[in-house]
Amino acid sequence: MKIYPVLLCGGSGTRLWPLSRDAHPKQYLKLASRETLLQQTALRLQGLDDAAPAIVVTHHAQRFLVAEQLHEAGVAPLTVMLEPVARNTAPAIAAAAHRALHEQADALLLVLPSDHLIQNEAAFARLVQAATPLARDGYLVTFGIEPTQPHTGYGYLCAGPAVKPGSAAHEVRAFIEKPDAEHAARLLAHGGYYWNSGMFLMKASTWLAELQHYAPEIARHAELAWQHARHDDDFIRLEAGAFGACPSLSADYAVMEQTHRAVLLPADGLGWSDVGSWEALAQLAAPDAAGNTTTGDVLTESLSNSYIRAEHRLVAAIGLDNVVIVETADAVLVAHRERTQDVRKIVARLEADGRSEARTQRRVARPWGSYETLERGERYQVKRIVVNPGARLSLQMHRHRAEHWVVVKGTAHVTNGAHDFVLQENQSCYIPAGVVHRLSNPGQTALELIEVQSGAYLGEDDIVRFEDCYGRAGEMQPVTVESVE
């Protein structure tokens, strides 16, 4: 009976704004290690016995980011399953269960958020090993984290009686939503309550049976989405109509809070964090003598008990206590450490105002490389484009904008209308509006160039793709100036 890990890559990580954003959320960031949180989660699985390659569930817009990061970490997943729309964790787990059952009739699912940090991997392996017999017996095992403080950013689990005499596993008596500070303090003082980690181990067949009983609409539409899924190179695209018809419910709401099969296994000594806020991230690092944690180019004077992160430029802080400062290329966050959970309120206001800072950063990953917006004004935009070795952009045309490319580093192969030619460093070309064009990197090193766009309209709905090796020719492009070829 193999264990099929399911890595859930949904979520936007809004509480870690401005570093984490909707188009590049926290699971793809290197926050506390040389690896991203997704890479750490995938590599952690190598210490498990009887574990099959992982089933990764993500949004279709992030498929190349997932594939690139797993390839970089040397991890080959069983499947990267693509959600056409976000529908929370219950439908995602259901689709993954069908995929696992396609491999093995008695498959176990180890469901893991991809954006959590676990520092003690040996303890994690022991925990999974201890939970395996329970899952084989038909229990839905959830892992509870021993609380260390009255945290208001986590849901809580109430432990009931032991499953059997002497067992470390307990029935789950209740699920408690994220409490206010007073309620959280009472739970901690009472004892018997655990933080809800969002990790599960269970039979795929048991999960689907319970889902059919308690959330039949999710069970029915998720099965249809799997049955009519389309295999696209290394990806499985769930059928959009069926998956979109799934009610958007978490695993807890759909099943775990209702089933009689839920059991809690205390997860001791994991060094676990959901890295859900800047305060949580600050607590992971050893502070200096003044209680400060700094990352990047930071100068301080009379600073105490603070977290400062500089991504692009010098940050200087004077005479402050108990603050968080996070600098990125296009936004700066300054907050009291006790209010970092409220960052999501700022993100909600940005989204309501249609501000691009809620969704994207200046540097945006693409399947062929990345781009960064350097300057933007009326009728012009300047970008730095990096194309990976051997990669190429789509064959395309713009009706309303012209582009001027200047090669800074590497070699560019350019299709410009009827002409094909090569540009070396310090060479350039001009592509008029309405001309079919393509950019490729035939070299062994990254191609870097500066693109200057000019025209009356620079939105990315002004793009017609004629050919694309990444399967995007038929995809709708977002109407934003942040998207690019």
Give tens-digit pLDDT for 387-444.
999 999 999 999 999 999 999 999 999 999 999 999 999 999 999 999 999 999 999 9
pLDDT band at 234 (very low <50, low <70, confident <90, very high): confident
Among 273, 288, 317, the domain boundary falls at 273
Same domain, 24 and 155: yes
Q: Are 161 and 287 in the same domain?
A: no
Q: What is the total count of domains within the chain?
A: 3
- pLDDT-above-90 percentage for the chain: 74
Domain match, 229 and 340 both:
no
Q: How many CB atoms lie within 10 A of CB 435?
A: 17
pLDDT at 411: 97
State whether 323 and 414 are in the same domain.
no
* Tokens 């005499």, located at residue: 165
Mean pLDDT of the chain: 91
Q: Residues 6 or more apart from 445 whose CB is under 8 A from it?
A: 389, 409, 410
Average pLDDT over residues 74-92: 95
Do 392 and 444 lie in one domain? The reply is: yes
Residue 198 backbone zone (phi > 0: left; psi -120 to 50: alpha; other: beta): left
Residues 6+ apart with CB under 8 A from 82: 58, 59, 60, 63, 232, 235, 236, 237, 238
94 within a domain of the structure (yes/no): yes
The answer, yes or no, to whether residue 130 has pLDDT greater than 80, is yes
pLDDT at res. 473: 58
CATH of the domain at 205: 3.90.550.10
Give the pLDDT mean for 99-127.
95
pLDDT at 221: 97
Residues 101 and 203 in one domain: yes
| Mean pLDDT of the region 199-227 | 97
In this structure, are residues 392 and 469 in contact, taking their beta carbons and an 8 Å threshold?
Answer: yes
* pLDDT > 60? residue 376: yes
Q: Residue 294 falls within a domain, yes or no?
A: yes
Q: Say if residue 483's pLDDT is above 80.
A: no
Based on the fold, state whether residues 160 and 286 are members of the same structural domain. no
The three state secondary structure string of the chain is: CCEEEEEECCCCCHHHCCCCECCECHHHCCCCCCCCHHHHHHHHHHHCCCECCCEEEEEHHHHHHHHHHHHHCCCCCCEEEEECCCCCHHHHHHHHHHHHHHHCCCCEEEEEECCCEECCHHHHHHHHHHHHHHHHCCCEEEEEECCCCCCCCCCEEEEEEECCCCCCCEEEEEEECCCCHHHHHHHHHHCCEEEEEEEEEEEHHHHHHHHHHHCHHHHHHHHHHHHCCEEECCEEECCHHHHHCCCCCCHHHHHHCCCCCEEEEECCCCCEECCCCHHHHHCCCCCCCCCCEEECCEEEECCECCEEEECCCCEEEECCECEEEEECCCCEEEEEHHHHHHHHHHHHHHHHCCCHHHCCCCEEEECCEEEEEEEEECCEEEEEEEECCCCECCEEECCCEEEEEEEEECCEEEEECCEEEEECCCCEEEECCCCCEEEECCCCCCEEEEEEEEECCCCCCCCEEEECCCCCCCCCCCCCCCCCC
Going by pLDDT thresholds of 50, 70 and 90, the confidence category of residue 10 is: confident
Q: Report in angstroms the alpha-carbon separations of 219 from 79, 230, 263, 272, 451.
A: 20, 19, 22, 31, 48
CA dist 248 and 245 (Å) reads 9
Domain assignment of residue 42, yes or no: yes
pLDDT band at 385 (very low <50, low <70, confident <90, very high): very high
Q: Count of CB atoms within 10 A of residue 141's CB? A: 27
Within this chain, do residues 210 and 287 fall inside the same structural domain, yes or no?
Answer: no
Q: How far is residue 234's CA from residue 459's CA, in Å, rounded to a whole number?
A: 30
Read off the tokens for 14.
């809004």
Note the pLDDT of residue 484. Answer: 35
pLDDT for the residue 477: 42
pLDDT for the residue numbered 472: 64
- C-alpha to C-alpha distance for 445 and 149, rounded to whole angstroms: 49
Confirm whether 59 is domain-assigned: yes
Per-residue pLDDT averaged across 235-240, rounded?
94
Work out the pLDDT band at 217, boundaries 50, 70, 90: very high
Q: What angle do CA 168, 187, 141 make, to 5 degrees?
A: 30
Q: Which of 382, 392, 397 is nearest to 443 (CA)?
A: 392
Q: How confident is the model at residue 296 (pLDDT cuts 50, 70, 90)?
A: very high
pLDDT of residue 363: 83
User: Which amino acid, residue 351?
Assistant: E
Q: How confident is the model at residue 482 (pLDDT cuts 50, 70, 90)?
A: very low
Q: Assign 27 a pLDDT band (cuts: 50, 70, 90).
A: very high
- Scan for tokens 């949004």, then name that residue: 59
* Whether residue 282 sits in one domain with residue 257: no
Determine the angle formed by the axes of helices 89-103 and 204-214, rounding to 10 degrees: 140
- Asked if 296 and 263 sit in the same domain, the reply is no
Structure tokens at 110: 């180890």
| Last residue of one domain, picked from the residues 344, 374, 395 | 344
Burial readout 282-293 (b: 16 or more C-beta within 10 A, e: otherwise) = bbeeeeeeeebb
Task: Using the predicted structure, report yes or no on whether residue 460 has a pLDDT greater than 90.
Answer: no
Q: Which residue from 426, 458, 427, 423 is spatially nearest to 439, judged by alpha carbons?
A: 423
Structure tokens at 96: 């993954």
Whether 358 is in a domain gets the answer: no
Q: What is the pLDDT of residues 177-192, one digit of tens each?
A: 888 889 989 999 898 8
The answer to the question of residue 19 being in a domain is yes
pLDDT digits (tens, 9 = 90+) for 140-173: 999 999 998 888 888 999 999 998 888 899 999 9
In-domain check, residue 474 = no
Query: What is the average per-residue pLDDT within 258-272?
Result: 93
Using CA atoms, how far apart are residues 154 and 221, in angstroms rounded to an integer? 30
- Same-domain pairing of 63 and 163: yes
Q: What is the pLDDT of residue 479?
A: 32
* pLDDT at residue 295 in the model: 94
Q: Are residues 173 and 56 in the same domain?
A: yes
Question: Does the residue 349 lie in any domain?
Answer: no
Residue 309 belongs to domain spanning: 278-344
pLDDT score of 166: 84
For residue 380, which phi and psi values (nearest 5 degrees)? -150, 160
Specify whether the CB–CB gap between 338 and 277 falls below 8 A: no
Mean pLDDT in residue range 199-223: 97
